[in-house]
């Protein structure tokens, strides 16, 4: 489960908040109502011709060096699909058409780093890689590797929500 993150001060006037409910804070002075919502992110199962999943190695903290799926935060004014396509280009140097994305479902996670409040809601997609995809890791990706769904190293995955999602998507018999 994700931990609850408390904000202390109103971003409008700097006075203290009172917690009205788990999702709502209200400023004691200006009465600003501040809702606590997750940030939307995307991630994708890119599957090669052998049925293996592309995992990336994180270049930066949080979770530097751990395995992750390609994806990231959705920008202002982007759809989930636009964000997904952009992240794939940025991280892997390949273009996947939004028409080739299959939506699988969503997971919730925590991404706390520095002063970033980390509750995320992650839209999971799937797409097949063509044989001649020439992937060049870039941006916040150090490297990539293909792993069979049978051998997913759950202890090396960066985020709990993604682990939970993969365990349900690829149940072990």
Interface contacts to Zn ion, rule CB under 5 A: 10, 12-13, 15, 27, 29-30, 32
**Among residues 18 and 148, whose Cβ is nearest to Zn ion?**
18
**Among residues 35 and 99, whose Cβ is nearest to Zn ion?**
35
**Among residues 11 and 65, whose Cβ is nearest to Zn ion?**
11
**Among residues 21 and 134, whose Cβ is nearest to Zn ion?**
21
Q: Are 158 and 61 in contact (CB under 8 A)?
A: no
* Closest approach of Zn ion to the CB of residue 39, in Å: 22
* Closest approach of Zn ion to the CB of residue 18, in Å: 11
* Distance (Å, whole) CA 97 – CA 75: 18
* Closest approach of Zn ion to the CB of residue 141, in Å: 40
Alpha-carbon distance values, 161 to 5, 7, 119, 128 (Å): 17, 23, 11, 23
* Distance (Å, whole) CA 44 – CA 150: 18
* Closest approach of Zn ion to the CB of residue 23, in Å: 18
Quick check: helix, strand or coil at residue 18? Answer: strand
Q: Which two tokens stand for residue 121?
A: 């809601």
């Amino acid at each position: 489960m994700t931990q609850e993150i408390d904000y202390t001060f109103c971003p409008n006037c700097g006075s203290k908040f009172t917690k009205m409910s788990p999702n709502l804070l209200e400023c004691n002075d200006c009465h600003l109502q501040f809702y606590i919502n997750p940030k939307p992110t995307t991630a994708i199962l890119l599957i090669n011709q052998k049925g293996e999943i592309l995992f990336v190695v994180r270049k930066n903290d949080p979770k530097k060096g751990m395995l992750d799926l390609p994806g990231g935060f959705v920008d202002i004014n982007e759809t989930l699909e636009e964000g997904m396509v952009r992240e794939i280009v940025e991280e892997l140097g390949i273009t996947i058409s939004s028409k080739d994305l299959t939506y699988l479902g969503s997971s919730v996670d925590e991404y706390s780093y520095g002063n970033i409040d980390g509750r995320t809601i992650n839209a999971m997609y799937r797409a097949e890689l063509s044989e001649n995809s020439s992937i060049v890791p870039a941006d916040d990706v150090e490297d990539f590797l293909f792993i069979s769904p049978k051998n997913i190293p759950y202890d090396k995955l960066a985020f709990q929500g993604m682990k939970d999602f993969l365990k349900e998507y690829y149940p072990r018999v």
